[in-house]
Structure 1
Amino acid sequence: MDASDVVSPPYLAGPFSLDPFRAQLLQPSRIGDPASRRLFARPFRSVATRLQQWEDHGRISTDPHAALYLHEYTSGGHTVRGIVGTLELARRTTSRDDSVVLPHEGIHPAQADELADRMEEMHLNPAPILLVHNGSTRLRALVAAIDCEPPTRQFEDAGGQRHRLWAWRTSEEIETVRHELASVRALIADGHHRYAAYLRMQARRPGTAADSGLAMLVDHRDTPLHLRAIHRALAGVHLDDALTALQTLGIHAEFRPLATTAELDPAAVGLTDGRRWALAYLPPHPGTVVEFVHDVLLPALPRGPHGVSHHPDADDAVAAASRRHGTALLLPPPTFEQVLEAALAGRLLPEKATSFQPKPHVGVIMRSLSAG
């Protein structure tokens, strides 16, 4: 995709607000099951009818009462908890400093438009966007208190994730939680284009259900998401050219095998064409390693690249580089603090710079745009 059409979503003014809603929940045996994807498949205008048919057959249930939810899920031994509600979208600001939702990646407007069209046709937010923040002591106490109670729903889905759900239902409970959320500034962990699509839908249909969008707010100090690296394969870039670029920048690379990306120092980059391996330690610089790669290293290359592909798995990056007569760049993951610093400063990281994991499977909590 052409980076020239990447923009930042509009700024959302405070106070931060998650509102109660009536959750739709897939039957546990359907969550994480690849066959369930047909529920959300084209034609999108038929999705609402399919949802109703599935509900009629007991495959979907709808909460009879609105609530804010605490969703805890465990995947691969890692547990994450987050508050799920509908994010208030109607208030905008022109100031980044006043924005309560912080993007760290740009969006492609055409892709956001397509997602907005799709959700409008489906009458559905099929999954919450993931937001991350450093929560207050009081908010963690509220979460811990409800977490001590029996969950309203508990199951293991078809994909192997374990889930527990609780609901804040009384007006007093909901107002207490919302009061603690009012001062939140949250980083978008996953769902930049869906967030932008929410804002487009709200602008098209103010005063309707589109005034809010489904979101899950995770406390990084409580149950942090893991940040994984996304590696690069540079098509048509010889390893010697990459090493020459580093030398031009005054960076020494040593030839040595790299058994695992876990060996990577937070300021190091591994380079390989699949046959030879090198490790380069970057000098102190502002920002993340992935920013250095795109802003400094790639422009210093004497030739290419013909293309840059992105790979969460290091072996896939090496294989792609070998196929395309190129070089793989194996990167360390950025830290949450680095990503938050970039977002607060208004910097947009390069495309596919972060991978927050694990994400919950689709269908645990959905939100109908037709229901109350």
Structure 2
Amino acid sequence: MDASDVVTPPYLAGPLSLLPFAAQLLQPSRIGDPGTGRLFARPYRSVHARLRHWRERGWITTDPHPAIYLHEYSSAGRTVRGIVGTLELGQRGTGPAMSRVLPHEGIHPAQVDELAARMGEMRLNPAPILLVHRGSPALRRLLGDISAAPPTRQFEDAGGQRHRLWAVRAPEELAAIQDEIAPSRALIADGHHRYAAYLRMQAESPGTDADSGLAMLVDHVDTPLQLHAIHRALAGVRLDRALDALTTLGVPVEFRPVAVAAAPDAATLLLTDGHRWALARLPPHPGTVVEYVHDTLLPAIERRSQRVSHHPDPEEAVSTAHRRRGTALILPAPTFEQVLEVAVAGRLLPEKATSFQPKPHLGVLMRSLNDG
């Protein structure tokens, strides 16, 4: 997709609100199973019938009573806990200053249209978008009290993630949760296009189940998600050409042997063609290293038609660059504070700039658009 097609997702005014919903839950043996993705495959208009078939076979159960869910999941030694409910979408904001939900990446309108149509045909929010905020001490105490009780559901899925769920229905607990999250400002960690699709559906069908969309709110202070960099491979751009551009920009570069897995520090960019490794120590500049790469370095490289590919795995970035006679850029991971600063300022990071991990597997909590 052309970067010129990227636009800022709409802003959502406060207060931040998560509402109870009647969850649909996949059988644990089907969560984390790659084959489960076929349930949501084309044609999307058939997904509703497939869901009904799976319910008839007992592979999907529906919670008969709406709730907000405290969902704790563990993956690769890391545990994350968040509140899952339906995010109220009715109040639009005009900018980041008044928004309670803060995007940090742009969206492609065509992809938003496709996702909105897909969810409309499926009559389903198949997974929550992932939001991150700084919760209050009172909220952490409340969720700690809830999680001290036996979970409503507990299991290990087919992909090895362990899950614990607490259904919160007591009116006083629901009210207390709402009071504590209302003033929060939440950063979108995963799901920018789905968030925009939620808002598109709400604008087209106000007063329906589309007035809210499934979301999980994680407290960065309590159980933070880990931020990873997404690295770049520049096909056909020789390492010397990239280094010449850095020299023109006045950036000092040094060669040294570096292990591919080595994580650069916050102000260092690693460049390699798979044989030689160069470290570029970037000058002080506003923003993140990935912004410097896209706003300053790439325009300075003579070749104007760089093919840039994105790789969460640095070794894959190096392998791709070597195969395509290009250069890999190994980036440092931005911090949560840096990403939040970008979002609050109303800036957008380049496409595929962050990876928040771990994410919960698909199917733990789903929400029907026919059941509220």
TM-score by length of 2: 0.99
Residue 56 (structure 1) shift = 1.1
Structure 1 residue runs of 5 or longer lacking an equivalent are none
Q: For the residues of structure 1 that align with 2:367 and 2:153, how far apart are their CA atoms?
A: 17
Q: For the residues of structure 1 that align with 2:294 and 2:51, how far apart are their CA atoms?
A: 43
Q: For the residues of structure 2 that align with 1:98 and 1:273, how far apart are their CA atoms?
A: 45
Q: Which letter does structure 2 place at the counterpart of 1:22? A: A
Q: Secondary structure at the match of 2:135?
A: coil
The range that moved more, 255-264 or 78-87, is 255-264
The range that moved more, 173-182 or 103-112, is 173-182
The range that moved more, 91-100 or 76-85, is 91-100
* Contact 1:253–1:279 (Cα < 8 Å) also in 2: yes
Structure 1 equivalent of residue 371 of structure 2:
371
Q: For the residues of structure 1 that align with 2:279 and 2:43, how far apart are their CA atoms?
A: 49
Structure 2 equivalent of residue 71 of structure 1:
71
Q: For the residues of structure 2 that align with 1:86 and 1:182, how far apart are their CA atoms?
A: 14
Q: CA RMSD in A?
A: 0.9
Match runs of 1:111-260 below 5 Å = 111-260=111-260
Q: Which letter does structure 2 place at the counterpart of 1:262? A: A
Q: Secondary structure at the match of 1:349?
A: coil
Residue 138 (structure 1) shift = 0.5
Count of matched residue pairs: 372
Structure 2 equivalent of residue 281 of structure 1:
281
Structure 1 equivalent of residue 319 of structure 2:
319
The range that moved more, 99-108 or 87-96, is 87-96
Q: Which letter does structure 2 place at the counterpart of 1:142? A: L
* Contact 2:209–2:369 (Cα < 8 Å) also in 1: yes
Residue 263 (structure 1) shift = 4.0
Q: For the residues of structure 1 that align with 2:256 and 2:94, how far apart are their CA atoms?
A: 49
Q: Secondary structure at the match of 2:309?
A: strand
Q: Which letter does structure 2 place at the counterpart of 1:183? A: P
Residue 256 (structure 1) shift = 0.9
Q: 1:322 to 1:240 in 2, by over 3 A?
A: same
Q: Secondary structure at the match of 1:292?
A: helix
Structure 2 residue runs of 5 or longer lacking an equivalent are none
Percent of aligned pairs with the same amino acid:
72
* Contact 1:104–1:349 (Cα < 8 Å) also in 2: yes
* Contact 1:237–1:304 (Cα < 8 Å) also in 2: no
* Contact 2:95–2:346 (Cα < 8 Å) also in 1: no
Q: Which letter does structure 1 place at the counterpart of 2:112? A: A
**Aligned: 1:55 with 2:62:** no
Q: For the residues of structure 2 that align with 1:293 and 1:361, how far apart are their CA atoms?
A: 32
Q: For the residues of structure 1 that align with 2:263 and 2:134, how far apart are their CA atoms?
A: 28
* Contact 2:261–2:315 (Cα < 8 Å) also in 1: no
Residue 305 (structure 1) shift = 4.7
Q: For the residues of structure 2 that align with 1:305 and 1:314, how far apart are their CA atoms?
A: 23
